[in-house]
Amino acid sequence: MTGMEPAESFRDPAMGVTRELMKALLPHLEQASAGAIAVDADGRISWINPSYARLIGEPPEQLVGRPVREVIPNTRMPETVRTGQPKLLDIMEFRDQQLVVTRLPVVDGGRVIGALAFVVYDDLQPLAPLMGKYRRLQEDLAAARRALARRSARYSLSDFVGASPAALEVKRRARLAAGRETPVLLLGETGTGKEILAQAIHSASARANRPFVGVNLAAIPENLLEAEFFGVAPGAYTGAGERAREGKFQLAHGGTLFLDEIGDMPLALQAKLLRVLEEQEVEPLGSNTVHSVDVRIIAATSRDMDAMLRDGTFRSDLYYRLNVLEIRVPPLRERLNDLGVLCETLLEDIALGGELHAELTAEGLAVLHQYHWPGNIRELRNALAQALTLNEGEQALSAPDMAAVLPVPTEGLGGPPSANPPAGPVRPLAETVAAAEQAAIEDALRAAGGNRSQAARMLGISRSVLYEKLARMS
């Protein structure tokens, strides 16, 4: 005797009872509903009650035998026949009404031979309060999603334009990084696309639907950094406010924290950051409780980290913790073969929505090959934008158009006449030096697209020194 037998013998009488129950129930269901309909295995109407026929607007005898889809275009009864799956509640559009319907398969001898459907409500009015609540919840959800999207990444890996071997290697490593949870360190000159890569790694990672939070260490005054990172407890200090302020670590919980310009992090904060990474806990300023945080770190810098490690301005223990997977982003001058695709993409982007005619001639492109691009792709973008504006978008950008917006003369190729200007009268050294300094500052500002922090970095001086010099120059 197998264990199946008692169950089998139990089922038959139960099936009998079920059949009797259904028989008794059907007329009630039919009457209580606003319509009832049956289809055969081919999805043709085999029976329809008068109330459903009235809803459709044709007498039952004209409906029987027709494919149900022809009469009720949005019906899913054929699916019920195909899958054998009942659907107890569904909303179906019929003309400009919404009907609440129930669909059941009709099974005989284990085979689906048709389907039965009831219109439970043809008037959603009684459900209005419920629907209203549902709509409000939907709106809340959409608002929350929008808020989250603002805190999420805009770029994906396809935004890192380039097909040169160097660019492909960067993308290969970025994909590798996306598949892991380890910290990533992006090293590269200003304007090479580190921010794009950081976002792209997040977008391609398992954390893509969680927050991406960026902090630019160079942009925040030193005395505010700690609060920015770890948050502030309510009433922590005078003026701290009554409410707790979350730090970037907490905001990024579950997602990715992008530490941009990590080389600009003051030593005191480096020690605190190291502790947070080791313990995976943060303690908001003025609080005595810790919060555990799960954050994936991507850091970036354009500084010479080797030099900073050597002169002790960056802690080596923190460096090794951040530099588990290193991605060196090459400067534009090392991947000049990408200039063509980059120009095409950037011009399209710059002219987007405008009336400008965004095209570059082969000669114009050749001029760009002559330049050394200290500000990399950001500088390229600025040069193209400037050339488009000057040219008023009339024709494709020519060699002189491009030469005119580059800060140094380019040889031949239709550029302005060449490098060595005629030697002028000999001037006092201080004047010559001052003029050279002014030229260097102007070049750097131009390369950085007017961004003074970046210009200062390119010149190897601090922001405050640059401000002083600018003040003296004007």
Ligand X SMILES: Nc1ncnc2c1ncn2[C@@H]1O[C@H](COP(=O)(O)OP(=O)(O)OP(=O)(O)O)[C@@H](O)[C@H]1O
CA–CA gap between residue 140 and residue 131 (Å, rounded): 14
Minimum distance from CB of 218 to ligand X (Å)? Answer: 9
Q: Which stretch binds Mg ion (CB under 5 A): 10-18, 187-195, 395-403, 466-474?
A: 187-195
Q: Which does 192 bind (CB under 5 to 8 A by kind): ligand X, Mg ion, none?
A: ligand X
Q: Which stretch binds Mg ion (CB under 5 A): 195-203, 272-280, 338-346, 459-467?
A: 195-203
Q: Looking at beta carbons only, is 35 or 193 nearer to ligand X?
A: 193
Q: Looking at beta carbons only, is 195 or 338 nearer to Mg ion?
A: 195
Q: Which does 347 bind (CB under 5 to 8 A by kind): ligand X, Mg ion, none?
A: none
Minimum distance from CB of 217 to Mg ion (Å)? Answer: 11
Q: Is 195 in the site for Mg ion (CB under 5 A)?
A: yes
- Phi, psi angles (nearest 5°) of residue 469: -65, -40
Sheet holding 111-121, edge to edge: 45-48, 36-40, 111-121, 97-108, 87-94
Q: Looking at beta carbons only, is 171 or 321 nearer to ligand X?
A: 171
Q: Looking at beta carbons only, is 156 or 287 nearer to ligand X?
A: 156
Minimum distance from CB of 460 to ligand X (Å)? Answer: 15
Q: Which does 447 bind (CB under 5 to 8 A by kind): ligand X, Mg ion, none?
A: none
Minimum distance from CB of 376 to ligand X (Å)? Answer: 7
Q: Which does 247 bind (CB under 5 to 8 A by kind): Mg ion, ligand X, none?
A: none
Minimum distance from CB of 373 to ligand X (Å)? Answer: 11
Restricted to residues 54-113, the positions that interact with Mg ion (CB under 5 A) are none
The closest residue (CB) to Mg ion is: 195
Q: Looking at beta carbons only, is 119 or 455 nearer to ligand X?
A: 455
Minimum distance from CB of 368 to ligand X (Å)? Answer: 15
SS3 string, the chain, reads: CCCHHHHHHHHHHHHHHHHHHHHHHHHHHHHHCCCEEEEECCCEEEEECHHHHHHHCCCHHHHCCCEHHHHCCCCCHHHHHHHCCCEEEEEEEECCEEEEEEEEEEEECCEEEEEEEEEEECCCHHHHHHHHHHHHHHHHHHHHHHHHHHCCCCCCHHHCCCCCHHHHHHHHHHHHHHCCCCCEEEECCCCCCHHHHHHHHHHCCCCCCCCEEEEECCCCCHHHHHHHHHCECCCCCCCCCCCCECCHHHHCCCCEEEEECHHHCCHHHHHHHHHHHHHCEECCECCCCCEECCCEEEEEECCCHHHHHHCCCCCHHHHHHHCCEEEECCCHHHCHHHHHHHHHHHHHHHHCCCCCCCCECHHHHHHHHCCCCCCHHHHHHHHHHHHHHHCCCCCCECHHHHHHHCCCCCCCCCCCCCCCCCCCCCCCHHHHHHHHHHHHHHHHHHHCCCCHHHHHHHHCCCHHHHHHHHHHHC
CA–CA gap between residue 329 and residue 274 (Å, rounded): 25
Q: Which does 226 bind (CB under 5 to 8 A by kind): Mg ion, ligand X, none?
A: none
Q: Which stretch binds Mg ion (CB under 5 A): 156-164, 188-196, 251-259, 461-469?
A: 188-196
Q: Please report, as ranges, the residues that interact with ligand X according to CB under 6 A.
A: 160-162, 188, 190-196, 302, 345, 377-378, 381, 454
Minimum distance from CB of 377 to ligand X (Å)? Answer: 4
Minimum distance from CB of 239 to ligand X (Å)? Answer: 32
Minimum distance from CB of 104 to ligand X (Å)? Answer: 56
Q: Looking at beta carbons only, is 218 or 282 nearer to Mg ion?
A: 218
Q: Looking at beta carbons only, is 232 or 377 nearer to ligand X?
A: 377
CA–CA gap between residue 389 and residue 358 (Å, rounded): 10
Minimum distance from CB of 350 to ligand X (Å)? Answer: 10
Radius of gyration over alpha carbons of the chain, in Å? 35
**Nearest C-alpha neighbor of 198 from the set 280, 137, 258:** 258
Q: Looking at beta carbons only, is 341 or 413 nearer to ligand X?
A: 341
Q: What is the dihedral of CA 7, 9, 12, 14, to 10 degrees?
A: -60
Q: Looking at beta carbons only, is 302 or 370 nearer to ligand X?
A: 302
The closest residue (CB) to ligand X is: 193
Q: Which does 381 bind (CB under 5 to 8 A by kind): Mg ion, ligand X, none?
A: ligand X
Q: Looking at beta carbons only, is 253 or 378 nearer to Mg ion?
A: 378
Minimum distance from CB of 102 to ligand X (Å)? Answer: 53
Q: Which does 161 bind (CB under 5 to 8 A by kind): ligand X, Mg ion, none?
A: ligand X
Q: Which does 378 bind (CB under 5 to 8 A by kind): ligand X, Mg ion, none?
A: ligand X
- Interface residue list for Mg ion (CB under 5 A): 195
